[in-house]
Amino acid sequence: MDFFSAPLGPWLSSAGATFLLIALAEIGDKSQLVCMTLAARHRPAPVILGAIAAFAILNLLAVVFGAALAAWLPEWLVILAVALLFAAFGISSLRYQEESDDESLEEKAGHSVFVTTFLLIFLAEFGDKTQIAVAGMGSTVAASAVWSGATLALAGTSILGVIAGRKLLHKLPLLWIHRISGAFFLLLAALAIARLIQTL
C-alpha cells in the first residue's frame, strides 16, 4: 500500500471516519487522564507536545506494521515497564513538599515533562485497543488518512485533558494536586501489575 497516494475524496472520508472513531474511544481513557494529571502540575506545552509525539509515532508504527506491532515485544515486558513508570511517577508526586518553590517546578518542567509525558503515553498505549484499531484500519484504507485522522483525534483528546487539568489547578492547592496525581498513578501501576499477573 502506498502511504502517501490516495484520491482526495476517499482520503478525507477515511481520515474523518478514523478521527471520529478514535476520538470517541479515547474520551475518558487513561491517556487523556494522564494528560489531565500532568497538566494540573506543569506547563501545558510540554505535556501536549509529549503526548502528540507519542501518539504520532505509535500511529505510524500501527499503520506501517499493522497488527504485528503488538508482537514486537512480549506483552509482559511492556506491562511491567508501564507499571514501573507509573509507580515511579506516583511515588515522586506523593513525595512533593508544600514548601518547595513552585517557580523551580515550572522551570524544570520543560524537557523533563515532555519526556515523562512521551514515555507514559507511549508505553501505556503500546498495543492498546486504539492502536490495534488504527492498525486494522490502516490495512484496509489509505494509511496516511488513518494516521492523520487518528493522530488529530488523539491530539484533540490530549488537549482537552490538558485544559481540564489546568482548570483543576486553579481550584485545588498544589499539594493536593500532587497527592491526587500520585494516588492516580499508583492506581494505574496497581492495575498494570494485576494485568501482568493475568498474562503470566
Distance CA 185, CA 95 (A): 13
Distance CA 104, CA 60 (A): 36
**Identity (one letter) of the amino acid at 119?**
L
67-117 residue pLDDT tens: 555 556 677 877 787 788 778 878 877 876 654 444 444 444 467 889 989
> Helices 143-169 and 174-199 meet at what angle, rounded to 10?
140
pTM of the model: 0.73
Residue 156 has pLDDT above 90, yes or no: yes
Mean pLDDT of 172-183: 75
Distance CA 40, CA 175 (A): 11
Phi, psi values for residue 69, rounded to 5°: -55, -45
Contact 93, 181 (CB under 8 A): yes
- Name which of 112-126, 150-164, 173-187 the model is least confident about: 173-187
The sign of the torsion formed by the CA atoms of 192, 93, 152, 154 equals positive
> What pLDDT is attached to residue 103?
42
Written as one string, the DSSP assignment of 109-122 is THHHHHHHHHHHHH
SS3 126: coil
106-145 residue pLDDT tens: 444 467 889 989 998 998 888 777 877 888 787 777 888 9
Residue 153 has pLDDT above 90, yes or no: yes
Measuring CA to CA, which residue among 156, 28, 127, 114 is closest to residue 68? Answer: 127
Distance CA 103, CA 108 (A): 9
Residue 24 has pLDDT above 60, yes or no: yes
Distance CA 179, CA 190 (A): 16
**Residue spans per domain, the chain:** 8-199
Contact 32, 26 (CB under 8 A): yes
